[in-house]
Amino acid sequence: MSDRKAAKDVMIGIFEYPHVPYWFTVSQAIRIVKVSFISSKKYPDPMAILVFDEKYNLMGTLTLKDILRGLEPQFLKPSEKAQVAEEDESALSLIWDTLFDKVQRSLQKGR
């Protein structure tokens, strides 16, 4: 039965995701995240903004993690100067990598 289903039958439509042209600023993107996900309580998975060019060609996606990286590139990297053992550094980076997944899961539970 499920063999007959096409990709379009199970896909998430692109209009479930916010769209921005590539020339929008990061601060405009943050406002769109607030309005499209947080205020409207919609949490698509992945929680991403779609970025288009001037001819409406999809160029890429923008996630919360990308925005954080754009604001502060060091946020998502383990600090080289941290006075911790190497294994602890990787643990820290793992926390950052999974932080938004945990937030997203808790938000979805609260729906």
Nearest alpha-carbon partner for 65 in 39, 85, 47 = 47
Strands 19-21 and 48-52 turn out to be: parallel
- The verdict on 19 binding other proteins (CB under 8 A) reads yes
Instruction: Report d(CA 44, CA 25) in Å as an integer.
Output: 22
Query: How many beta carbons lie within 10 A of that of residue 69, not counting itself?
Result: 14
- Judged by CB under 8 A, the residue of 12, 26, 45, 53 near other proteins is 53
- Judged by CB under 8 A, the residue of 9, 54, 80, 86 near other proteins is 54
Q: Looking at beta carbons only, is 50 or 92 nearer to other proteins?
A: 50
Residues contacting other proteins: total by CB under 8 A:
19
Interface residue list for other proteins (CB under 8 A): 15, 18-21, 24, 28, 31-32, 35-36, 39-40, 42, 52-56
